[in-house]
Amino acid sequence: MLQAINLHKKFKTKEVVRQINMQLDAGESVGLLGPNGAGKSTTISMLSSLVTPTSGEVLWNTVSINKNPEALRKTLGVVPQEIALYPELSAQENLAFFGRIYGLKGKLLSERIEEILMKIGLSDRKNDIVKTFSGGMKRRLNIGAALLHKPSILIMDEPTVGIDPQSRAYILDTVKQLVEEGMTLLYTSHYMEEVELLCDKIYIMDQGEIIAFGTKEELKSLVSDNQTIELKGHLLTAEFERELVSHFPTASVRKEEEILLLSMPKNEEPLATIFAIAAENDVNITSVIVKVPSLEDVFLHLTGRALRD
């Protein structure tokens, strides 16, 4: 549906994006992760036809948009990182303005405004001036403006930055519903859990390049194929440890104070056996935590932990 082929962008002498290749199929939700300065916003600007690539192509349904972006723009919704609203206008007036830009008018425009206000939870504030809104309300209205013309693809750049937890949860529920309804989504965020919740595939970007791509599980396998089981309990004896090693020959077992840690392949399901061994050895297990690599582990593993400007 939307494809980037060898995208490259240079501002004067500074290379910002290098050899980006991406693909969004119809109905997919795709995440784009990367540290500050990785080139995410520039990439999104090229994909949405706001910035012309130095080289490379963006294809919309196999047709290049580099010189003719209108076909994409008619069916694209963009939620920018910065709030893009008129603060002196009401919520309804803002939506009417953007709706007319999309070519909506008359009864259809009025109906779409009412539908969007309902979807973003602002029907009761439609006549209020936007400058009186909280950050979360402005974010929701920003999203509503991008949905007015019923786009077939939605690009969202950090849509939950700087808002309260309730507004963030509402926005995530709204976006999740859009995905379930078949919206094609490209989503960037600093919050790993948002991308895990919303996205089928994930691209990780750093220093202007795509450095990894795959499903969540494929990316997590880059860090480790193991799971760690953390056991807390009474009478965690040496005999209990030996029994665990005997039953799980592929596992490594170590003790840290009052905690026993087992590392083993993720395809094993050992909990029933562990509890049986504990009962045979009079060990009272009080807590079990199964830990697998997170998306954040992958991100830090690939991009490093040091901050970069």
Which residues, 6+ apart, have CB-to-CB distance to 282 below 8 Å?
A: 235
**Per-residue pLDDT, 106:** 95
| Span of 93-97, 221-225, 284-288 with lowest mean pLDDT | 221-225
| pLDDT higher at 136 or 266 | 136
* pLDDT tier for residue 230 given thresholds of 50, 70 and 90: confident
Is the predicted pLDDT of residue 11 greater than 80, yes or no? Answer: yes
Please provide residue 156's backbone torsions phi and psi, each rounded to the nearest 5 degrees.
-125, 120
pTM of this prediction exceeds 0.95:
no
Q: Which of 13-17, 49-53, 139-143, 218-222 has the lowest mean pLDDT?
A: 218-222
CA dist 208 and 21 (Å) reads 12
pLDDT of 98 > 90? The answer is: yes
Residue ranges of domains in the chain, CATH in brackets: 2-220 (3.40.50.300), 226-292 (3.30.70)
Q: What is the pLDDT of residue 305?
A: 60
pLDDT at 308: 55
Q: What value does the mean pLDDT take over residues 94-120?
A: 95
Mean pLDDT of 280-299: 83
Please report the DSSP string for the chain in residue order: -EEEEEEEEEETTEEEEEEEEEEE-TT-EEEEE--TTSSHHHHHHHHTTSS--SEEEEEETTEE-SS--HHHHTTEEEE-SS--S-TTSBHHHHHHHHHHHTT--HHHHHHHHHHHHHHTT-GGGTTSBGGGS-HHHHHHHHHHHHHTT--SEEEEESTTTT--HHHHHHHHHHHHHHHHTT-EEEEE-S-HHHHHHH-SEEEEEETTEEEEEEEHHHHHTTT-SEEEEEEEEE---HHHHHHHHHH-TT-EEEEETTEEEEEEETT---HHHHHHHHHHTT-EEEEEEEE---HHHHHHHHH-SS---
* Residues 275-280, mean pLDDT to the nearest whole number: 88
* pLDDT confidence tier of residue 306, bands split at 50, 70 and 90: low
Predicted local confidence at residue 154, as pLDDT: 96
Kindly indicate the confidence band of residue 296, based on its pLDDT and cuts at 50, 70 and 90. confident
